[in-house]
Structure 1
Amino acid sequence: MKRLSSLFLNFLLLSVVTMAGTLEIPNIFSDNMVLQQNSEVKLWGQGEPGSTVNFKTGWIEKSLSVQVDINGTWEANIKTPGAGGPHMISISSGNDIITLNNILIGEVWICAGQSNMSMPVKGFQSQPILDSQDAIVESNSYPEIRMFTAERSISSIPEFNVKGNWQCASINTTGSFSAVGYFYALELYKTLQVPIGIINLSWGGSNAQAWMSLDLLKTFPEIEISAINMKSKSPQRIPTALFNAMFYPISRYNVKGIIWYQGENNIVDYDLYSKIFPAMVNEWRKYLNQEDIPFYYVQIAPYKYSGSRNRESAFLREVQFRSQYIIPNSGMVTTGDIGEEELIHASNKRMISKRLSYYALKKNYGFNNLSCSSPIYRKMEITGNKITITFDFADGGLVIKGNPENTFEIAGKDGIFYPAKAKVHQQYGDKIEIWSEQVSQPENVRYCFKNYFSSTIFNSFMNPASPFRTDSYEK
């Protein structure tokens, strides 16, 4: 009697019952999950070879079934309706029954990266999130926003499962959600008015190499993989370890797109990053079985690093700037107006999420009148002692805020850069004129090309221009 009572209690607490232990599903399938609407989603798991697995959903009258293969694995495709719920799914095989409750149908996105993505709504120790308390309290009104946070883990081989469970936004849970992920979901929810699910795959200090498969890493001879040490004191930087343990277990889950905030731990190898970042994106798309899935990412924010006027992070931002032309169906959010000189984790995560959401709303949800791109350097023209820069995405015309001499530099043939003055062209709103009395015959311009800066060039929607340079000097 005590054993039966215990089992019944577990059923009430978890709503997942495995009566004989042979039927198993990964943790990404749990109570409170969100499934992508109007699509064909995959369910998968393990079972007794040769046995039949049956499915009953709250939106399809007819039961479905698949057979477990000789390796003890199974996979089923189930069509989802438009947004709604709550629904249930019952999965059974022989005497084994798994019941999933409170399932919503809506929009599902992956948020991934390192600490600026994992930073929770409640902030880190002595590193706050702007208006976090208000956000946590208000989240009680948004239980249709759900987040699955994958537990930080490593593996040398692709894993079947990763620890984690879906949680509904509430005062008790939202503080631990990824801030960028939650605020992004909130912006989508307010506009689309459908349930939003976020799958959080992030680990502070991780580099891109950790999020790539071993097979892909082997194509880059610059990456040492012959002696991968799974006992490293920096496990989040072990090549392929996070791909195997965190991404692979959820890679068959149907999602709408990916948002990404990472790069700080690849500053030291920015040249390599220019090759592995697009390759990583391409690989994730293949594993997700969506080779054109939207991929929107954040250019790393200004921060002092080795010194505010030094430039090591500028080269990584330049790689990110160029990657948007290499990675199809991508978009880059700039952060030049919200960086903090003394904090690598900028507090205004809500603005970052808003800018990410503008990409999705415009490109994926049909809000075509939105401005989502930041002003981006297109070309340079030299006339006398001035250089004129033309920008793409100068929506509504360019605006100068603050002192441009803090952000613009100009150089002649000698390659010595001096602070430069700047103004918006009187006739063309997409052009900026730059000059300095110290340079009579200018050849090159740099804008915000250093570790820490505060943007001075915006379009009329206050999207800050991306840092750039017209030279190709190594330093």
Structure 2
Amino acid sequence: MKTFKNSFLIVLVVVLGMANKAMAKVTLPTFFTDNMVLQQKSSVPFFGATSAATVKVTTSWDNKSYSATAKNGKWEVSLATPKFGGPYTITINDGDNLVLKNILIGEVWLCSGQSNMEMPLEGWGKVDNYKEEIKNANYPEIRLLQAEHVDSAVPLETLQVQNGGWQVCSPAAIAGFSSTAYFFARKVYKEKHVPIGLIHSSWGGTVAEAWTSAGALNTMHDFDEVLKGMASEPNKNDLQKKFDAEIKVWNEELEKADKGGLQGNTAVFAGTDYNDASWKTMQLPNFWEFDALVGFDGIAWLRKKITLPESFAGKDAELEFYADDNDKVWVNGTYIGGTDGYTVQRHYTIPGKLLKKGSNTITIRVFDGTGGGGIYGNPGDMFIKSGSEKVSLAGDWKYAVGVDTKTLRPAPYLPQGQNRPSALYNAMIHPILKYKLAGVIWYQGESNADRAKQYQTLFPLLISDWRAKFGNKDLPFYFVQLANYMQVKDQPGSSAWAELREAQLKTLSVPNTGMAVITDIGDAKDIHPKNKQEVGERLARIALAKTYGEKIEYSGPVYASHKQINNIITLEFKDNKGLKTADGKYLKGFEIAGDDQKFYWADAKIENGKVVVSAAQVAKPVAVRYNWADNPQGNLTNASGLPASSFRTDTWKGITEGNK
């Protein structure tokens, strides 16, 4: 009996041990996977969860073992990483063995921002020469981690990632990855031959405050109301009700302001007998910012007379096009319908009784709140069809302005989804705060351009916030200045994009930052310029010089000071070695003004490493601006061949001041 009892106890212990071993399955964060890169020569936090009491971690680069006692199911050790190399393994044992393979030790860079950082080599991006770039993307020592788009009102602990974790850079893996990040890594790798890990966490169309923590934003007080609304459901509901009431009143004011186009419920401009002979003409489809209504936000009316064959008469027809943002449509004076949202393709059914053989009039009223506006897309996207017959609507359209929103008070704004303050920091940055980084590259600002003055405070705040949260007050932070975009203007004028570039330039006063200027490689008609190779390489030049100590030129001329004598102003620059024009022609892009604040194009020339400017119209100049436009055409550079940043010497009130 005693022998049976002892045997039973032995079996029970073995069975329980096997059960505990089966239950003791260690789990790791989504960013600790095969193929990952860990920061070299660092103390790297390595952690996870388990049901076991203890966990042992062994690293193959030094065969060292680390032990951790689990607390509330969580454990953490600190791994000492050597100089770059690999591949290595990490073995985690909590009763079961879990082995991470093909690990490299090298340099880890976080890549973040909005769509120009997100823009992939292929997919919707299609960078210059993308097929060859993808074909040649065989860099097994560059590794890629792609974060999913997630937003949250509160900080999250788990980063959602694609592809199950880290991927080895290959033609198959790179096509959908950030092109700017890839070209940055490729340049650094070719120069240093060090493994590079890229954590790509960005989201198109997002604002900087979404990437900043609530704690940091609370020091600004510009976002207090929305942050309060995110903190609790009652506050959120109250905020929504307030916004709904305010936007209703504002929309009523917008409608009343359209006095020419609307009289009560009557759409005057849509009438078949309305005389539009005095209206101007624009080509559609095309964003009106690129042609007829540069910088315009508001309501515009569009009219076109089309000739239909007899086969259309009396039959229902379909009208299709794309509009930005909202539209309403009339056919031969009769209201057909309306659609809100710039991403929605318009599909309208026209009752056959409205159509006739010969001349028919289509009227479209478009409201645009910000950014590109009007009817956009390809010529083949805009048509009317009946059965198998189709009549193109592309070409000349008459237009008239209904309301310019500059004449109204600013519209109420309630951030939603991913653009809520702190929402992307919470979901896409907070979960990786323990991951050791070499630095950050950042490409963002387009979505904050209308609040450029605020960005002068917000952007440095984001940088200091990330440095504090990642536990590295000297964390390198290199960013891209906005590219040239939109229509080239004949005369000097105001520009929100120039003011945003100024905010970025001022951020260089923050230690251990760097800025890639790209106002020479943008695209007037594409907010997503295709030459991402040069963008990535310019960021890489900054990193090579400032982080890795290479003797390489990384900056064009940067304005330092000025002196005015009589009718001349002399400008001095940092990084002025070999000051010249990029095209070997006369200097362009400089403008000058007197006390009246009226700017004129300046005569500019290079003398002894300085730039001397004057203008016949300005007897006593007090201010100079350079490349102060949405799409500047300046050509100042230095021995590096890199463009000079836009700047201004004055501190006069800009068009974005006070915008919150």
**Structure 2 match to 1:51:** 53
Q: Which moved more, 1:213-222 or 1:415-424?
A: 213-222
**Structure 2 match to 1:105:** 105
Supply the distance in 1 between the matched residues of 2:622 and 2:542 (Cα, whole angstroms).
35
**Structure 1 match to 2:71:** 69
Supply the distance in 2 between the matched residues of 1:460 and 1:25 (Cα, whole angstroms).
49
2:358 aligned with 1:360: no
**Structure 1 match to 2:135:** 137
Letter in 2 for 1:354: E
**Structure 2 match to 1:246:** 428
Give 1:373 deviation, angstroms. 2.0
**Structure 2 match to 1:439:** 618
Give 1:418 deviation, angstroms. 0.8
**Structure 1 match to 2:644:** 465
Contact 2:68 2:75 in 1 (8 A): yes
Contact 1:35 1:106 in 2 (8 A): yes
SS class of match (2:127): coil
Within 5 A, what are the aligned runs for 1:394-405? Answer: 394-399=576-581, 401=583
Contact 2:24 2:94 in 1 (8 A): no
**Structure 2 match to 1:60:** 62
Letter in 1 for 2:503: V
Give 1:21 deviation, angstroms. 7.0
Alignment deviations for residues 239-277 of structure 1 (CA, whole Å, 9 cap, x no partner)? 111111111111111111111111111112222221121
**Structure 2 match to 1:259:** 441
Within 5 A, what are the aligned runs for 1:303-322? Answer: 303-304=485-486, 310-322=494-506
Taking structure 1 as reference, are residues 405 and 462 closer, same or farther at Cα in structure 2, changes over 3 Å only? closer
Give 1:148 deviation, angstroms. 0.5
**Structure 1 match to 2:159:** 162
Letter in 1 for 2:527: I
Give 1:440 deviation, angstroms. 2.1
Unmatched runs of 5 consecutive residues or more in structure 2? 1-20, 231-235, 241-413, 655-660
Contact 1:400 1:424 in 2 (8 A): no
2:182 aligned with 1:178: no
Contact 2:587 2:634 in 1 (8 A): no
Supply the distance in 2 between the matched residues of 1:343 and 1:311 (Cα, whole angstroms).
17
Contact 1:401 1:457 in 2 (8 A): no
Supply the distance in 2 between the matched residues of 1:192 and 1:405 (Cα, whole angstroms).
37
Supply the distance in 1 between the matched residues of 2:64 and 2:153 (Cα, whole angstroms).
41
2:44 aligned with 1:41: yes
**Structure 2 match to 1:206:** 206
Alignment deviations for residues 114-157 of structure 1 (CA, whole Å, 9 cap, x no partner)? 11101111252xx53112222111112x1111111111101222
Contact 2:587 2:636 in 1 (8 A): no
2:118 aligned with 1:118: yes
SS class of match (2:137): helix
Within 5 A, what are the aligned runs for 1:196-235? Answer: 196-223=196-223, 224=225, 225-228=227-230, 234-235=416-417
Q: Which moved more, 1:102-111 or 1:405-414?
A: 405-414
Supply the distance in 2 between the matched residues of 1:250 and 1:343 (Cα, whole angstroms).
33
Supply the distance in 1 between the matched residues of 2:554 and 2:588 (Cα, whole angstroms).
26
Supply the distance in 1 between the matched residues of 2:476 and 2:535 (Cα, whole angstroms).
17
Supply the distance in 2 between the matched residues of 1:201 and 1:305 (Cα, whole angstroms).
31
**Structure 2 match to 1:386:** 568
SS class of match (2:106): strand
Give 1:101 deviation, angstroms. 1.1
SS class of match (1:198): strand
Supply the distance in 1 between the matched residues of 2:39 and 2:533 (Cα, whole angstroms).
24
Structure holding more strand per residue: 2
SS class of match (2:172): coil
Q: State, as a whole percentage, how many aligned pairs show the same letter.
A: 39
SS class of match (2:64): coil
**Structure 2 match to 1:345:** 528
Supply the distance in 2 between the matched residues of 1:19 and 1:453 (Cα, whole angstroms).
65
Contact 1:418 1:438 in 2 (8 A): yes
Give 1:234 deviation, angstroms. 4.5
**Structure 1 match to 2:192:** 192
Letter in 2 for 1:92: N
Q: Which moved more, 1:37-46 or 1:146-155?
A: 37-46
Supply the distance in 2 between the matched residues of 1:443 and 1:257 (Cα, whole angstroms).
40
**Structure 1 match to 2:30:** 27
**Structure 2 match to 1:333:** 516
Give 1:99 deviation, angstroms. 2.1
Supply the distance in 1 between the matched residues of 2:514 and 2:581 (Cα, whole angstroms).
22
Unmatched runs of 5 consecutive residues or more in structure 1? 1-17
Alignment deviations for residues 369-395 of structure 1 (CA, whole Å, 9 cap, x no partner)? 211122111111122322111111113
Letter in 1 for 2:44: V
Instruction: Please point out which of 480, 495, 499 is paired with 1:298.
Output: 480
Taking structure 1 as reference, are residues 263 and 19 closer, same or farther at Cα in structure 2, changes over 3 Å only? farther
Give 1:235 deviation, angstroms. 2.2
**Structure 2 match to 1:3:** none
SS class of match (2:117): helix
Letter in 2 for 1:379: S
Count the aligned residue pairs: 447
Supply the distance in 2 between the matched residues of 1:20 and 1:186 (Cα, whole angstroms).
43
Letter in 2 for 1:201: S
2:471 aligned with 1:286: no
SS class of match (2:26): coil
Give 1:20 deviation, angstroms. 3.7
2:377 aligned with 1:374: no
Contact 2:590 2:634 in 1 (8 A): no
Taking structure 1 as reference, are residues 389 and 123 closer, same or farther at Cα in structure 2, changes over 3 Å only? farther
Alignment deviations for residues 147-169 of structure 1 (CA, whole Å, 9 cap, x no partner)? 11111101222222112211111
Taking structure 1 as reference, are residues 305 and 400 closer, same or farther at Cα in structure 2, changes over 3 Å only? closer
SS class of match (1:227): helix
Give 1:19 deviation, angstroms. 5.8
Instruction: Please point out which of 411, 415, 424 is paired with 2:593.
Output: 411
**Structure 2 match to 1:323:** 507
Supply the distance in 2 between the matched residues of 1:305 and 1:56 (Cα, whole angstroms).
59
Contact 2:144 2:199 in 1 (8 A): yes
2:271 aligned with 1:268: no
Q: Which moved more, 1:226-235 or 1:358-367?
A: 226-235
Alignment deviations for residues 74-124 of structure 1 (CA, whole Å, 9 cap, x no partner)? 2210111222211111112134x4321111111111111111101111252
Supply the distance in 2 between the matched residues of 1:310 and 1:384 (Cα, whole angstroms).
26
Letter in 2 for 1:147: L
Q: Which has the larger radius of gyration?
A: 2
Supply the distance in 2 between the matched residues of 1:259 and 1:248 (Cα, whole angstroms).
17
Give 1:408 deviation, angstroms. 1.3
Supply the distance in 1 between the matched residues of 2:64 and 2:47 (Cα, whole angstroms).
19
Indicate the RMSD between aligned Cα atoms, in angstroms: 2.2
Letter in 1 for 2:27: E
